[in-house]
């Protein structure tokens, strides 16, 4: 089973989103499900049966424990990766990720690529509690997957592998007999119906000891060969006092040496650095502002600060933020969590968490430029994809933004 990372290219002039185009059909599909849910389990079986029957050249990839649970259910082989404590194999194999569950399932899927600089497109079906990040209802899974699978139906000869391009959606002749698509009914949607991509920025996070040396990350975020490198987070990094009765003392520094400045020392239950995607999660519950996912920024949000004048702060995404455990911190250790996964070993006085927004950039000549970095999230087709109404609709319909008291609607 071979695969390769997704490639993303220039955004359109008609849309705020990007357009997905495959040079060749995606082959290796990673399925990530919500655990301990009978409805999700049954949906996964129905979904995978349909894909294998309709797109027989695809390879179905699961996490090791899921593959162990369901492989006897199928008459065809399923694939997984070795349980090595590293997520590196996923980005080397997977062309497309699809999730069945809630926002937590999407975060878990993104965490499988926490050590990778490129992430394949993510097709998500909302089957959880809230579903603010989930774009599709499961009843539409056949249409949704088909639109993604044939998105753009490029006019050039397919390249080796299953790379995805996000292009300017320009018109041109289409080759109806291209290898891989020739047997798919209704395969040509045309450039105007390419699946749309919302590129979600991530945080780049490094941990450092009192001498400035990097600390290794723990599973599931460990790098291959135990390399001490940065990891990526889709939502946030959290520092918290945990079960200890004393407030945390965390010094916040802005910028890189020699121009680094101390912003303040937070005395609070904890502190969050979030992405715009994470602005509607823990940060929002802690009084942080809501930021559109296309706004390149970092959010600094205190959790129950001692000072009433401590307000959330929004910074440019390329700003280096250092969170240093202050010497006055009375607790033995401060807990560290990345996208809800708590590190078993906390941080002591003098240790640091350094956070900066992941660089999401283009490279190559105009018209063929590739987007590097970020999490390519596939949004619903139709009018919502044209005007970003899906995000506004999520605020109104799911989060009940400015919802009046005492009224039904």
| pLDDT interval class at 252 (50, 70, 90) | very high
| pLDDT interval class at 86 (50, 70, 90) | low
pLDDT tens digits, one per residue of 120-130? 999 999 997 77
| pLDDT interval class at 132 (50, 70, 90) | confident
Q: Residue 58, CB half-sphere, CA atoms under 13 Å: how many?
A: 25
Distance CA 248, CA 269 (A): 6
pLDDT for the residue 175? 43
pLDDT for the residue 288? 96
Q: Phi and psi (nearest 5°) for 316? A: -60, 150
Distance CA 337, CA 355 (A): 13
Mean pLDDT, residues 323-332 taken together: 92
pLDDT for the residue 23? 82
Predicted confidence (pLDDT) at residue 242 exceeds the cutoff of 70: yes
Which residues pair with residue 232 across a beta bridge?
204
Which ranges constitute the DSSP H helices of 202-260? none
Question: Domains (ranges, CATH) in the chain?
Answer: 8-200+362-397 (3.40.50.10330), 203-357 (2.60.200.30)
Which residues pair with residue 122 across a beta bridge?
97, 377
Percent of all residues in the chain with a pLDDT value above 90, rounded to a whole number: 56
Percent of all residues in the chain with a pLDDT value above 70, rounded to a whole number: 79
Closest CA to 98 of 147, 57, 53: 147
Got the DSSP string for 10-58? PPPSS-SSEEEE-SS---EEEEEE-SS-HHHHHHHHHHHHHHHHHSTT-
Give the single-character DSSP code of 247: P
Predicted confidence (pLDDT) at residue 163 exceeds the cutoff of 90: no
Predicted confidence (pLDDT) at residue 203 exceeds the cutoff of 50: yes
Mean pLDDT, residues 112-121 taken together: 90
Closest CA to 244 of 304, 329, 342, 301: 329
Cβ proximity of 140 and 161 under 8 Å:
no
pLDDT for the residue 121? 94
Say which range, 120-129, 167-176, 219-228, 273-282, has the weakest mean pLDDT.
167-176
3-state secondary structure of 266: strand
For the four alpha carbons of 249, 254, 256 and 260, in that order, the dihedral sign comes to: negative
> Regarding beta strands 370-372 and 8-9, do their DSSP bridges make them parallel or antiparallel, or are they unpaired?
antiparallel
The CA distances from residue 82 to 44, 67, 76, 244, 341, in Å, are 22, 11, 20, 37, 21
Write b or e for each residue in 157-195: b if 16 or more Cβ atoms lie within 10 A of its Cβ, otherwise e. ebeebbbbbbbbbeeeebeeebebbeebeebebebebbb
| pLDDT interval class at 184 (50, 70, 90) | low
3-state secondary structure of 224: helix
pLDDT for the residue 372? 79
User: How much is the pTM?
Assistant: 0.85
Dihedral class, residue 36 (left if φ above 0, else alpha if ψ from -120 to 50, else beta): left
Predicted confidence (pLDDT) at residue 191 exceeds the cutoff of 90: no
> Regarding beta strands 28-33 and 96-101, do their DSSP bridges make them parallel or antiparallel, or are they unpaired?
parallel
Mean pLDDT, residues 101-126 taken together: 92
User: Average model confidence (pLDDT) for the chain?
Assistant: 83
Which ranges constitute the DSSP H helices of 63-219? 64-70, 88-93, 103-111, 141-149
Mean pLDDT, residues 178-207 taken together: 72
pLDDT tens digits, one per residue of 5-54? 445 555 554 457 888 888 888 999 999 999 999 999 999 999 999 999 99
Whether omega for the bond prior to residue 342 falls within 30 degrees of 0, making it cis, is no
| pLDDT interval class at 88 (50, 70, 90) | low
pLDDT for the residue 315? 98
Predicted confidence (pLDDT) at residue 168 exceeds the cutoff of 80: no
> Which position has the token pair 């995805």?
164
């Amino acid at each position: 089973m071979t695969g390769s990372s997704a490639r993303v290219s220039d955004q359109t002039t008609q849309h705020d989103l990007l357009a997905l185009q495959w040079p060749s059909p995606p082959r290796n599909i990673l399925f990530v499900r919500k655990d301990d849910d009978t409805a999700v389990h049954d949906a996964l079986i129905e979904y995978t049966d349909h894909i294998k029957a309709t797109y027989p050249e695809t390879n179905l990839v699961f996490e090791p424990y899921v593959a162990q649970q369901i492989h006897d259910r199928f008459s065809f082989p399923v694939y997984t990766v070795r349980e090595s404590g590293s997520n590196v194999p996923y980005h080397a194999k997977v062309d497309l990720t699809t999730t069945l569950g809630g926002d937590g399932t999407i975060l878990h899927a993104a965490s499988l690529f926490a050590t990778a600089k490129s992430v394949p497109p993510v097709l998500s079906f909302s089957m959880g509690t809230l579903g603010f990040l989930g774009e599709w209802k499961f009843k539409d899974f056949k249409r949704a997957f088909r639109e993604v699978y044939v998105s753009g139906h490029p006019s050039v000869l397919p390249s080796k592998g299953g790379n995805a391009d996000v292009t300017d959606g320009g018109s041109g002749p289409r080759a109806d007999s291209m290898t891989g698509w020739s047997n798919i009914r209704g395969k040509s949607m045309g450039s105007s119906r390419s699946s749309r991509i919302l590129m979600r920025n991530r945080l780049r996070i490094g941990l450092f000891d009192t001498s400035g040396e990097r600390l290794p990350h723990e599973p599931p975020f460990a790098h291959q060969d135990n390399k001490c490198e940065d990891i990526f987070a889709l939502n946030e990094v959290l520092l918290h006092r945990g079960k200890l009765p004393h407030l945390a003392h965390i010094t916040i520094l802005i910028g890189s040496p020699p121009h680094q400045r101390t912003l303040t020392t937070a005395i609070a239950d904890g502190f969050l650095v979030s992405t715009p995607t994470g602005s509607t999660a823990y940060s929002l519950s802690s009084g942080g502002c809501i930021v559109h996912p296309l706004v390149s920024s970092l959010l600094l949000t205190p959790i129950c600060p001692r000072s009433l004048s401590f307000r959330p702060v929004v910074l440019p995404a390329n700003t280096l933020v250092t969170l240093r455990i202050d010497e006055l911190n009375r607790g033995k250790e401060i807990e560290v969590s990345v996208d809800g996964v708590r590190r078993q070993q906390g941080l002591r006085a003098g240790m640091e968490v350094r956070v900066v927004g992941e660089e999401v950039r283009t490279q190559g000549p105009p018209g063929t430029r590739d987007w590097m970095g970020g999490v390519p999230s596939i949004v619903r087709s139709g009018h919502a994809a044209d005007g970003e109404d899906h995000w506004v609709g999520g605020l109104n319909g799911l989060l009940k933004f400015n919802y009046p008291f005492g009224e039904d609607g």
